[in-house]
Chain A
Amino acid sequence: MATEAPSAHLAHHFPDLQTQEHAARLGMWLFLATEILLFTVLFTAYAVYRYLFPGAFDEASKLAHVSMGATNTVVLITSSLTVALGIHYARQGDKRKTVGLLAVTIAFGAVFMVLKGFEYHHHWVDGQLPGKFYHFTGLTGPGVSMYFTIYFLMTGLHGLHVLIGMGVLAWIALRAARGEFSREYSTPVELGGLYWHLVDLIWIFLFPLLYLV
């Protein structure tokens, strides 16, 4: 401990910066595991109700707006690329490119949310809503409203995570703009990027389950 030059980023209880970064990464991965388990409840509910109402889920999923969903998939996957590039430049200490790429990522997130808003609006107008709010006359029968319960719960929770992710990235971009990161220390950028990748990854499962199959 005494032999190393003390870093401004090193907390008193860690022996060195490597250990501290290792701890931060491990903590983030564990946190991501808890996030996945949060969604697992809804994936389980999806599996159970799809098994109980295969026909109704099949019909109801045709009401989903595939073109907007597909566009959103492309948008999110691209945003994963931009955030990965952002991490790359943060590690090289390139402040300008880091901030720029994080801003682009946030913009992609905003595009995703706007498109999602249009989808929600269409479903709202058509009465394709969860549980007791369902009043769409074009498709009725047991299990149809359950599709929309699951749809809104899953995409709603995911949308909330997109918003949180945008907030996290905005905060990190702000810190990057203030010059807090360098070649030596860029862990928060990496952790924020991990979170964003998770948000992207969950959508990659949601899109086929809710729109395609």
Chain B
Amino acid sequence: MSLSPTSDAVYNSPNYLTAPTGIRSWLLTLDHKRIGVMYLALVVAAFALGGFFALLLRLELLTPGPTVMDAMTYNRMFTLHGVIMIFLFMIPAIPGVFGNFFLPLMLGAQDVAFPKINLLTVYLYLIGATIAVWGMIQGGTDTGWTFYTPYSTTTVTTLSPVLLGAFILGMGSILTGLNFIVTIHTLRAPGISWMRMPLFVWAMYATSIIQVLATPVLGMTLLLVAIEKTFGFGIFDPARGGDPILFQHLFWFYSHPAVYIMVLPAMAVISEVVQTFARKNMYGYKAVAFSSLGIAFVGFFVWGHHLFTSGQSTFASGVFGVLSMFVGIFTAVKVFNWTATLYKGAIQVSTPFVYFLGFLYFLIFGGLTGIALSTVSLDVHWQDTYFVVAHFHFIMVGATMMAFLAALHYWWPKMFGRMYSERWSLAASLLVILGFNATFIPQFLLGNMGMPRRYYSYPQQFQSLNVASTAGASVLGFGFVLVLVYLVASFFSGRVAGPNPWGSRGYEWDTPSPPNLLNFPETPVITRGPHEYQDGPSAEVTHGH
């Protein structure tokens, strides 16, 4: 195994954080690692903003009547929360940060295929985010993140800026996916065959396919809504022969696959974390690799399960319902392989592993409720209630957020060369998992009792569960703040991590921490598969836990 020579010369040469200095060297950087770090700063800021609006929503729902805002303000808040969390955090977070940083390292490449396009995506994100958030705050957009017609085309609030912002963000997302696909096809180092690619790369490949093939449809659809709203072309206007349901079809043709843009990268991270912290090779490498492609493929044929109550034919609903359950099969393939990997492993319960356990629980709970929801007769009862809200938060926030935190804690030492406080990080992980459960389990119950989503008030009998949910959200918020505090502290004064504090056999760990500006002094030749623990732990282990 010779991924990179570990000579003093390599370890003493400047790393990517320090090599060129000055703000200009960051703003115009073409280095995938710096771009990943910029994405980290941006998506964390977006998450903080979206989380702030979420806490305001929970504050309003503390009491049955008006608490701190009126109905219109509440509608604006959930629109801001949804748009920011989906378009500015969930979709770009893991590909933008960890995909950019680690995909080339895992392929033994010097960079992604198109570094300039990669930098462009950062600016598309920045411009799109600014236009969208400014537009929503300025114009008071109140449609929710789904922009359903005909309400969206007739509301008195401003809509076009947020649609334009989402279009620009979509362009960035497409280009990131395109860049990753081409990188994976053309820049694998000698020795990395398709069946030797890390599973992180496989799942990012599946994600990228969805980003490239689904996002243009959303972009055009949002432009049509903007044109309809601005010029009255009638394309979704029943008075002029337009069909508002067509909007729902087009919207969900992107937005359901987009759920897998959010969750496949999470699965990507988990496959790496479970192998490292169980000291075991993946139980079924091929099954996990191909199930990612399976999810990406089936994901394109399930959008109709969002239209069970929109006048879709019973037959179509039945077909979409059954197809949706196929996603559950591919997901189960992954879950069984992850758990089988643990069997007889030398498990190290560090913070990333705790997040892995949290992920598994949220994914299974959220996934099973998803299968229940894809059953038409059950969905008709739960449609537009808090049951649906709790379900997708379990997957999108629960599972994806757990994986984001697992990735952040797993790769933090590699990215910044420092360790964080294990005690504080374990405490925070328990707070986050506990707070999350306390927030959303009451919402499952509320939804099952019939509480509809997107209302700022509710009948008296729902209050105790809503209070529990709000309390949980506060714990969750506190947990996130804690993570931010100890990670910032670690950046400045954490213990030096060394190249491989976890003793991982992932390719990316055979570099110095932080990696050098040029990833490898010369193109590495790979002579083993990823995570081959039967050969013993990596030679570069400097200290264990």
State whether B110 touches A13 (Cβ < 8 A).
Answer: yes
Contact partner, B114, options A27, A34, A41, Cβ 8 Å: A27
State whether A27 touches B182 (Cβ < 8 A).
Answer: yes
State whether B241 touches A15 (Cβ < 8 A).
Answer: no
Interface SS of A by simple majority? helix
State whether A145 touches B241 (Cβ < 8 A).
Answer: yes
Instruction: Tell me the complex Cα distance, A101–B227, Å.
Output: 37
User: Does B455 sit within 8 A of A, measured CB to CB?
Assistant: no
User: Does B349 sit within 8 A of A, measured CB to CB?
Assistant: no
User: Does A164 sit within 8 A of B, measured CB to CB?
Assistant: no
Instruction: Tell me the complex Cα distance, A107–B49, Å.
Output: 50
User: Does B215 sit within 8 A of A, measured CB to CB?
Assistant: yes
State whether A26 touches B233 (Cβ < 8 A).
Answer: no
State whether A37 touches B110 (Cβ < 8 A).
Answer: no
Range of interface residues on A (Cβ < 8 Å): 35 or more
State whether B213 touches A37 (Cβ < 8 A).
Answer: yes
Contact A26 B185, CB 8 Å, known A12-B110, A48-B243: yes
Interface residues of B in 179-222 (CB under 8 A from A): 179, 181-183, 185-187, 212-217, 219-221
Contact partner, B182, options A1, A30, A39, Cβ 8 Å: A30
- Collect the chain A residues with CB atoms within 8 Å of residue B213's CB: 33-34, 37
- Collect the chain B residues with CB atoms within 8 Å of residue A42's CB: 220
- Collect the chain B residues with CB atoms within 8 Å of residue A23's CB: 113-114, 182-183, 185-187
User: Does A142 sit within 8 A of B, measured CB to CB?
Assistant: yes
State whether A30 touches B181 (Cβ < 8 A).
Answer: yes
User: Does A140 sit within 8 A of B, measured CB to CB?
Assistant: no
User: Does A53 sit within 8 A of B, measured CB to CB?
Assistant: yes
User: Does B70 sit within 8 A of A, measured CB to CB?
Assistant: no
State whether B186 touches A22 (Cβ < 8 A).
Answer: yes
User: Does B250 sit within 8 A of A, measured CB to CB?
Assistant: yes
Contact partner, B233, options A1, A38, A41, A149, Cβ 8 Å: A149
- Collect the chain A residues with CB atoms within 8 Å of residue B518's CB: 12
Q: State the interface size on chain B (CB cutoff 8 A).
A: 43
User: Does A173 sit within 8 A of B, measured CB to CB?
Assistant: no
User: Does B60 sit within 8 A of A, measured CB to CB?
Assistant: no
State whether A40 touches B234 (Cβ < 8 A).
Answer: no
Contact partner, A146, options B181, B215, B242, Cβ 8 Å: B242
Instruction: Tell me the complex Cα distance, A119–B217, Å.
Output: 28
Instruction: Tell me the complex Cα distance, A37–B177, Å.
Output: 15
State whether A13 touches B111 (Cβ < 8 A).
Answer: yes
State whether B212 touches A34 (Cβ < 8 A).
Answer: yes
User: Does A171 sit within 8 A of B, measured CB to CB?
Assistant: no
State whether A153 touches B241 (Cβ < 8 A).
Answer: no
Contact partner, A131, options B231, B243, B246, B250, Cβ 8 Å: B231
State whether B234 touches A149 (Cβ < 8 A).
Answer: yes
Contact partner, A45, options B179, B237, B246, Cβ 8 Å: B246
Contact partner, B220, options A22, A41, A152, Cβ 8 Å: A41
State whether A33 touches B235 (Cβ < 8 A).
Answer: no
Closest residue on chain A to residue B247 by CB atoms: A45
Instruction: Tell me the complex Cα distance, A44–B113, Å.
Output: 33
Q: Interface readout for A11-38 with B: 1 if CB under 8 Å, 0 if not?
A: 1111100010011001100110111011
Interface residues of A in 70-100 (CB under 8 A from B): none
